[in-house]
Amino acid sequence: MSSFSIKTILFAAATLAPFARADTQWVDADMKKLKDEDRHERFKGLQFLGSRGPHGGLNGLPVVQSFKHPVPSGKIPFRCLDFAKEKVEGTNQPHCNMDQLEVFEVEYTDCPGRSIPICRCKNAPMTIEKIAEEFSKVSPKARQWMKSISARPGGSCSASASGDHMFFNGDCGGDGAVYLHEVGHALDCAALKDDNGDGKKCMSDKDLWRQAVIEEDTCVPDNYAKNVWGDNFAQFSVMAAYHHRVQDIYESFAGDGGLECLRNGLNLAIEMTRNIFAREYQTCDEHSGFDDKAKEYVCTTSEARAQGHCDGIPDLPAPGADNAETLVSTELFGMSQRDLEIFRGDMAHVWETTPVRKGVAFFA
Ligand SMILES: [Zn+2]
């Protein structure tokens, strides 16, 4: 598909009403089944995992030290650029212009020699340091699959992912479940991808996963696990991270109704992420999603190229080109249909998580 652009997607997403859950044109039939059956939701959102447990839950995980290396101006990860330049809803103004976008390569001490670009509109409430600190709580073997992180202003926190890129609007502070949910998308479609010829790239597309969730389980983690399959997996991966890094999640809820109703999906997620989240794996891998990072960048100024900052990096499409306004197109960067689905799903997430985040409804 070559006619999609992120701008088009955002526009489409922005025009959905907050209660547009009935819009099922991009929802697979078996996910629709989960929705139509009104499958029981075990919890009302997973944010409570952030503070539940002996050491402060997911939010209390140890911080890993990091160093930030400034990226020369004129060289910007294309996803960051596109996210920053999106128009503020209802206006003709971007969230920030290119010259107001700061980019740092952040290197963690548990993964020396490797780094992730973190981009920030200078008017965004979250600092580079804050993002780096919160992201550090995600295990190194999970962190390594995320290719960029972006932050821009916003009235309230919302987060989204396009495959292995993470985006923040507003102040998402230290909500560990949000970071892990977005990382879950990268695990689903990058770390756990399995090109075995069945045409199903992401783990949550596989029969193995869907059978466990649909046929063997009788409940889902929460409402959002019924959004799209990517979000279904991402919510389970938040729970799996809790199990590996905070405490045994079955024991944690043993006296609280148990987790039998979603045991099959949860056990699968726990097994599949054991080498990713478990505490004994405390460094990144030699090869990972970081490795093709160079292709994430575009060169935005001739000065940067003249100074040698853009070797191996394509130029930003020139004004007047088909994609000059939207910058990112499937033709140029090969955004997959799966990325589109996740991206659209998470834009819906923006509205759906807001009441949970603001409210006191934790778990049923
Ligand atoms: Zn999501």
Q: What is the pLDDT of residues 217-270, one digit of tens each?
A: 999 999 889 988 888 999 999 999 999 999 999 999 999 889 999 999 999 999
User: Using CA atoms, how far apart are residues 285 and 294, in angstroms rounded to an integer?
Assistant: 18
Q: Residue 110 Cα, ligand 1 centroid: separation in angstroms?
A: 27
Q: Residue 231 Cα, ligand 1 centroid: separation in angstroms?
A: 5
* 162 phi-psi bin (left φ>0, alpha ψ -120 to 50, beta other): beta
* In-domain check, residue 101: yes
User: Using CA atoms, how far apart are residues 217 and 37, in angstroms rounded to an integer?
Assistant: 13
Closest CA to 266 of 35, 31, 42: 42
pLDDT at 10: 34
Task: Domain count for the chain, please give it.
Answer: 1
pLDDT at 327: 34
Q: Residue 101 Cα, ligand 1 centroid: separation in angstroms?
A: 25
Closest CA to 98 of 358, 301, 348, 269: 301
Strand duo 219-220 + 297-299: pairing: unpaired
Q: Residue 12 Cα, ligand 1 centroid: separation in angstroms?
A: 17
pLDDT at 330: 33
pLDDT at 133: 96
Half-sphere exposure of 299 (CA within 13 A, CB side): 15
Domain of 29, in residue numbers: 6-358
Ranges of the chain with pLDDT below 70: 1-28, 163, 195, 287-295, 317-364
Helix axes 337-358, 229-245, angle to 10 degrees: 60
* In-domain check, residue 21: yes
Which residue is listed with tokens 């489409």? 12
* In-domain check, residue 240: yes
Which residue is listed with tokens 């199903």? 200
* Local structure of residue 27 (DSSP, 8 states): S
Phi, psi of 57 (to 5 degrees): 60, -155
* In-domain check, residue 218: yes
For residue 265, the SS3 value is helix
pTM of the predicted model as reported, rounded to 2 decimal places:
0.80
Q: Residue 195 Cα, ligand 1 centroid: separation in angstroms?
A: 22
Structure tokens at 255: 């006296």
* In-domain check, residue 206: yes
Q: Residue 348 Cα, ligand 1 centroid: separation in angstroms?
A: 9
Q: Residue 278 Cα, ligand 1 centroid: separation in angstroms?
A: 22
* In-domain check, residue 1: no
207's CB contacts (< 8 A; 6+ apart) are: none
Q: 68: which strand partners? A: 106
Structure tokens at 123: 């008017």
* In-domain check, residue 364: no
Q: Residue 205 Cα, ligand 1 centroid: separation in angstroms?
A: 15
Structure tokens at 314: 């394509």
Q: Residue 347 Cα, ligand 1 centroid: separation in angstroms?
A: 8
Cβ atoms of residues 227 and 348 within 8 Å: yes
pLDDT at 358: 24
For residue 322, the SS3 value is coil
Q: Residue 181 Cα, ligand 1 centroid: separation in angstroms?
A: 6
* In-domain check, residue 181: yes
Q: Residue 31 Cα, ligand 1 centroid: separation in angstroms?
A: 15
Q: Residue 115 Cα, ligand 1 centroid: separation in angstroms?
A: 23
Q: Residue 345 Cα, ligand 1 centroid: separation in angstroms?
A: 6
185's CB contacts (< 8 A; 6+ apart) are: 161, 163, 164, 230, 233, 234, 342, 346
